[in-house]
Amino acid sequence: MVPGRSCDGCVVCCVVPPVKSPEFSKTSGVACQHCDTAAGCAIYATRPNVCREFLCGWRSLPFLDDRWKPEACGLLVLPDKNDIPLDFERRVGLAIIAFRARGDLQHRFVVEMLAGLVAGKAPVFLSVPGPPGFDFAKTLLNPLLDQAVEARDGQRIEAVLTSTYDRLAGGSFRPLPA
């Protein structure tokens, strides 16, 4: 956990991702039954362990500055251990969930951070939430961004990010298992 960072009313994790645990479940894209979107978790002091243990990337990764707070930037950053291709030395990547709008991927700090991660050979995924109750559409960004990053072409990186967002958002989403 990064010292000095707190949710402070941010409820993105209470709405965007699905939660499935023995003690608590909720579907994607729907606010948790205990979520007060104006104030945060109504049962924060007694929240389930799955919620206690959850930290978004902004709360847990010191290299993400305050611009990366999910409610501010429209992007939820999470560690991702799934779907890492074998040719990556790093076995944990980052999932960037663009939950609000494609324009959230066009900020200079986002383009620069993603370029740095791709240049550093960190697996980076872009995900777009489907309708409530559906899984996220997801793709590995590294092979899509490699050439633009190598050329240090910020405009091309931005174009790849927005076209990838559009492709994911327009695709078919799988219903989450019950």
Q: How many domains, in total, are found in the chain?
A: 2
pTM greater than 0.85: yes
Cα–Cα distance measured from residue 96 to residue 165, given in angstroms and rounded to the nearest whole number: 11
Tens digit of each residue's pLDDT (9 = 90 or more) over 67-119: 999 999 999 999 999 999 999 999 999 999 999 999 999 999 999 999 999 99
Note whether 100 and 48 are same-domain residues. Answer: no
Q: Is residue 35 part of a domain?
A: yes
Ramachandran category for residue 133: left, alpha or beta (phi over 0 → left; psi -120 to 50 → alpha): left
Question: What pLDDT does residue 177 have?
Answer: 85
Note whether 47 and 18 are same-domain residues. Answer: yes
Cα–Cα distance measured from residue 40 to residue 156, given in angstroms and rounded to the nearest whole number: 38
The closest alpha carbon to 164, from 126, 129, 135, belongs to 126
Residue 28's domain comprises: 6-54
Q: Is residue 163 part of a domain?
A: yes
